[in-house]
Amino acid sequence: MNPEEFNKYWDKNYPEANLIGHELKNVYPNTWLRIHSLPESKRYAETEDEYQIILSRQNKLISELIGENTEIVITSGQYEMGLTDEISYELSDFGIFEKCRTIELHKIYPEEYEDDFYYDVYFRNDIWKLDSQNEILRSIADDDFRAMFIAPKKKCIIAPYDGGMDIIVDSQGKRDGLKAKYKDWLSEREDGL
């Protein structure tokens, strides 16, 4: 998938949403689910055993959601003051990314962002395999990197963050089934956060 194809896919399937992971839960609340990566909603790993719990949970759930050997698009974004074509050095640690769009945050959210504040979205294609993205997942768990895994053929978005994963599936029924199956991995809060 090239940048143009990916943008068409996103705009057709998620027209109400920006390519910003933390916004998706507000846009798609009926198909959104959040799982926590550690027991008792602990946010950060402190031991190697806790990292293994994070990676095990995330790999298991992603593999169940999209299946092995499924095409995925990995996106990551960076906030910028002014337009730029420079790619963050952080992206180069995780493969070759290319820019697919620039979001003019100052126009969308004028009360939150100053003039000339942008969010550049980068992407790369990959194939999901169990444990193949552990380097990225671990970096996200440490809050050193942000990325989303999008499986176009499965109509699924997985947005890991430091503490868990936000998931957008294609139906409320599917979401409810996942909530029942993974109830021990969910927040005890009523809002699911």
Number of domains in the chain: 1
Residue 190 counted as domain residue: no
The pLDDT value given to residue 90: 64
User: What is the residue range of 113's domain?
Assistant: 3-185
Residue 193 counted as domain residue: no
Pairing of strands 148-151, 164-168: unpaired
pLDDT tier, 192 (very low <50, low <70, confident <90, very high otherwise): low
pLDDT tens digits, 51-68:
999 999 999 999 999 999
User: Quick one: angle between helices 48-66 and 134-141, nearest 10?
Assistant: 120
Residue 192 counted as domain residue: no
pTM for the full predicted model: 0.92
Residue with tokens 């499986």: 151
CB 62 within 8 A of CB 127: no
Residue 151 counted as domain residue: yes
CB 170 within 8 A of CB 31: yes
Separation of alpha carbons 106 and 82, rounded Å: 11
Mean pLDDT for 10-31 is 95
